[in-house]
Structures are given as structure tokens and as C-alpha cells.
Amino acid sequence: MGVDHFNAHATGLSSPGMRHFAITPSDTAYLPTRPRAIYCNVAGDAVIRDEAGTDATYALNAGQVIPFRGVRVLVTGTTATRVGWE
């Protein structure tokens, strides 16, 4: 790994992500890692559940970032391909 000139800076919700991971949609299971944001690889809809249990459908374009920390991405209604950022 190379030099990290920002290693002394605190990581916060407004700073860039440091890890990425695949998000596998599920109608029954919570995300194993709660993302800082969700990045859309392939355009489509993403149905995301918040911590209160409310579902919302987002129409996403490829390359779009949703700065939302959802607890679940549902299979039902989701057509977009996404990646989580932590």
C-alpha cells in the first residue's frame, strides 16, 4: 500500500468511503454492513428500507450515489445494480 497523506484525519459521513462491498438484495435479511452511501453501477430502481421499516423506491442512473444508510435493499422492485460504500 502507498503513502496515505490523510491517515491523521477523522473519517466521517461527509468524507469519502474507505471500503466498498457488493449489496445483495433481500426481502428478509438486513444488510450485513450498513453502507455510508450506495453507488449505482447499472441504472434501474432500488427499493431501500430505512431503520424505521419504511421502504422507498429510488429511480437511479448509472453512476448515481445515494448518501443514505439503509438497512435493507429489497429484491422485490429492485432492478438496479448497486455497491455499498463504507
In a domain, 10, yes or no: no
34-70 confidence digits (pLDDT tens): 998 999 999 999 999 999 999 999 999 999 999 999 9
In a domain, 6, yes or no: no
H or E segment at 66?
A: strand 65-66
Q: How many residues does the chain have?
A: 86
In a domain, 63, yes or no: yes
Q: Which domain holds residue 56?
A: 20-85
pLDDT at residue 20 greater than cutoff 80: yes
Instruction: Please report where in the chains the cell 444508510 appears, as a residue.
Output: 69
Percent of the chain with pLDDT over 70: 100
Edge-to-edge strand ranges of the sheet holding 81-85: 20-22, 81-85, 37-42, 65-66
Q: What is the tally of structural domains in the chain?
A: 1
Q: Considering the chain, what is the average pLDDT of its residues?
A: 92
In a domain, 49, yes or no: yes
pLDDT score of 73: 97
CA dist list (Å): 24 to 6, 34, 63: 31, 12, 18
